[in-house]
């Protein structure tokens, strides 16, 4: 997530559930659960994508937080967790994944859902936007209770310098400003970077460096890194898409695409019904749109043992300039592939395995 107009936007998350998969005018060690159980969870999640993960405040004269609007518009943490568990079972197995790290975490909604779903789980979240992290503490984690929130560790910092990131926590626990390097944390079973966040890294050197940091925190017993990416012919041109919700409309706008540098500018807008107000440029990004082979090469250079692609074809952007809720593209599921013909738009999970431990 991010604040518009600041250089640190280059390390912010974006909006994965766009159809690529998304105020007066304001610039704003145990056996893994059976595979069929995971598949059932995944299918139930696909059927209920229109349900909201996290409550928005009741309509008032005050506009809701842009963070709340973002979560409702583009995030589905239960679905992501279902896939994370599935990938861990397939490529590591032998134990339950308990320890997650969410890079570019923003409001850390995924981390909050992760620790809430199992009393043994821990989560580490890293992001440059300290406002988003504090909002998470006050909204996503405050609702879970002390036992749950104490297992979520939020850090304010750059994913390229993770050890320097500083702890963001409740005032009463006295751990504010403690650096990650001085914090005792379990090695991670899974690290993820969702909502196209790796597009915030603009050079190959940055990608390889980041993937190296990821590899260093994964368990030596086996772990995975999962990121997502979007693409297709429609991703390389100007594009404006909108998704309607009961009280607002979410707008994804891609205003340019440099085919030589493969850089694009993305803005997310929210048009509110009550009160009638437009939050323009609530989140803005300068992205480098990477290709799947480039990501694979950088992961392998960083030391990952294997890389797997899970693809999903998305609806043709020319046919769905407007959609309702999170329904776009839900008729198709992600499938593991070794080749994939170019489409108008697609989403991908990229799964990198830390070691051949079998």
Q: What is the pLDDT of residues 300-328, one digit of tens each?
A: 999 999 999 999 999 888 766 665 655 55
> What DSSP letter does each residue of 99-155 carry, written as one string?
EEEEET-TT-HHHHHHHHT-TT-EEEEEES-HHHHHHIIIIIITTT-HHHHTTEEEE
The residue count of the chain comes to 358
Q: How far is CA 287 from CA 14, 79, 202, 229, 304, in A?
A: 9, 25, 7, 12, 24
Query: Quick check: is 2 in a domain?
Result: no
Query: Quick check: is 1 in a domain?
Result: no
- Report the alpha-carbon distance of residue 13 to residue 129 in Å, rounded: 10
Cβ of 285: how many Cβ atoms within 10 Å? 24
Helix-then-strand count for the chain, H and E: 8, 15
Query: Quick check: is 323 in a domain?
Result: yes
Cα 57 off chain centre by? 23
| 175 φ/ψ angles, rounded to the nearest 5 degrees | -110, 10
- Report the alpha-carbon distance of residue 44 to residue 33 in Å, rounded: 16
CB 244 within 8 A of CB 358: no
pLDDT beneath 50, residues of the chain: 1-10, 12, 17-42, 44-58, 358
Query: Quick check: is 13 in a domain?
Result: yes
Over its C-alpha atoms, the chain yields an Rg (Å, rounded) of 19
The SS3 assignment for 265 reads strand
The SS3 assignment for 43 reads helix
Q: What angle do CA 295, 296, 302 make, to 5 degrees?
A: 90
pTM of the model: 0.83
pLDDT of residue 143: 82
Query: Quick check: is 54 in a domain?
Result: no
Closest CA to 211 of 230, 222, 224, 229: 224
Summarised one tens digit per residue, pLDDT across range 25-65 is: 334 433 334 434 444 444 544 444 433 344 444 455 677 99
Which tokens sit at 358? 């079998």
| 86 φ/ψ angles, rounded to the nearest 5 degrees | -60, -45
Query: Quick check: is 346 in a domain?
Result: yes
- Report the alpha-carbon distance of residue 224 to residue 269 in Å, rounded: 33
Half-sphere exposure in the Cβ direction for 177 (13 Å, CA)? 2
Report how many domains make up the chain. Answer: 1
Query: Quick check: is 262 in a domain?
Result: yes
Bond into 275 cis (ω within 30)? yes
Query: Quick check: is 265 in a domain?
Result: yes
Domain limits for position 291:
7-49+66-353
- The CATH number covering residue 11 comes to 3.40.50.150
């Amino acid at each position: 997530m991010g604040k518009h107009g600041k250089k640190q936007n280059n390390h912010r998350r974006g909006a994965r559930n766009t159809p690529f998969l998304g105020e007066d005018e304001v610039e704003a060690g145990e056996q893994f659960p059976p595979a069929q159980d995971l598949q059932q969870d995944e299918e139930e999640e696909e059927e209920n994508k229109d349900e909201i993960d996290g409550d928005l405040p009741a309509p008032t004269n005050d506009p809701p937080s842009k963070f709340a609007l973002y979560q409702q518009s583009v995030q589905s943490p239960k679905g992501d967790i279902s896939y994370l568990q599935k990938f861990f079972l397939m490529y590591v197995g032998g134990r339950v994944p308990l320890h997650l790290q969410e890079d570019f975490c923003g409001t850390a909604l995924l981390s909050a859902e992760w620790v809430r779903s199992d009393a043994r789980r821990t989560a580490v979240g890293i992001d440059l936007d300290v406002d988003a992290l504090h909002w998470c503490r006050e909204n996503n984690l405050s609702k879970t209770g002390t036992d749950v929130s104490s297992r979520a560790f939020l850090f304010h910092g750059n994913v390229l310098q993770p050890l320097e990131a500083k702890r963001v926590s409740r005032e009463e626990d006295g751990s504010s400003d403690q650096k990650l390097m001085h914090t005792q944390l379990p090695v991670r079973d899974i690290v993820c970077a969702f909502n196209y966040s790796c597009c915030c890294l603009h050079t190959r050197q940055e990608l390889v460096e980041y993937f190296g940091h990821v590899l260093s925190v994964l368990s030596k017993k086996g772990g995975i890194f999962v990121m997502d990416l979007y693409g297709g012919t429609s991703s390389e041109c100007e594009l404006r898409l909108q998704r309607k919700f009961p009280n607002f409309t979410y707008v994804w706008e891609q205003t340019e695409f440099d085919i030589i540098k493969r850089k694009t500018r993305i803005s997310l807008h929210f048009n509110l019904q009550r009160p009638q107000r437009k939050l323009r440029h609530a989140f803005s990004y300068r992205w480098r749109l990477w290709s799947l082979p480039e990501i694979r090469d950088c992961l392998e250079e960083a030391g990952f043992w294997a890389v797997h692609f899970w693809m999903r074809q998305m609806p043709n952007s020319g046919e769905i300039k407007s959609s309702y809720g999170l329904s776009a593209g839900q008729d198709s599921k992600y499938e593991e592939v070794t080749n994939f013909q170019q489409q108008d738009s697609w989403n991908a999970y990229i799964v990198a395995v830390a070691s051949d431990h079998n």
